[in-house]
Amino acid sequence: MDRRIRNMDERAFRALKAKAAAEGKTIDEAFNEAIRAYFAFPAGFAKTGSLRDVRPRKFGPGNERLSEQIDEVVYGL
């Protein structure tokens, strides 16, 4: 489906385009992924500010080892 997005923040678009290129994705793929990630979180999540509200989530296929990969980057494991 072709759609046109108006008034998109130029800096945000450039950042998305650069990240897509670095990951070998098209801008369309990166944009769709960003939209899906946006809707993956409940609307009030950021407003609570409490760690008690954090629940495990699925981050989609290919991210089964996400926490381990983060540890590898952060701690050099």
**Residue listed under structure tokens 């070998």:** 24
Between CA 4 and CA 13 the distance in angstroms is: 13
CA distances from 54 to 5, 11, 38, 57, 64 (A): 32, 30, 16, 9, 18
Tokens of 2: 């072709």
Q: What is the pLDDT of residues 16-70, one digit of tens each?
A: 999 999 999 999 999 999 888 888 776 655 566 677 777 777 777 888 888 888 8
CA distance 17 to 28: 9
pLDDT tens-digit profile of 4-26? Answer: 888 888 999 999 999 999 999 99
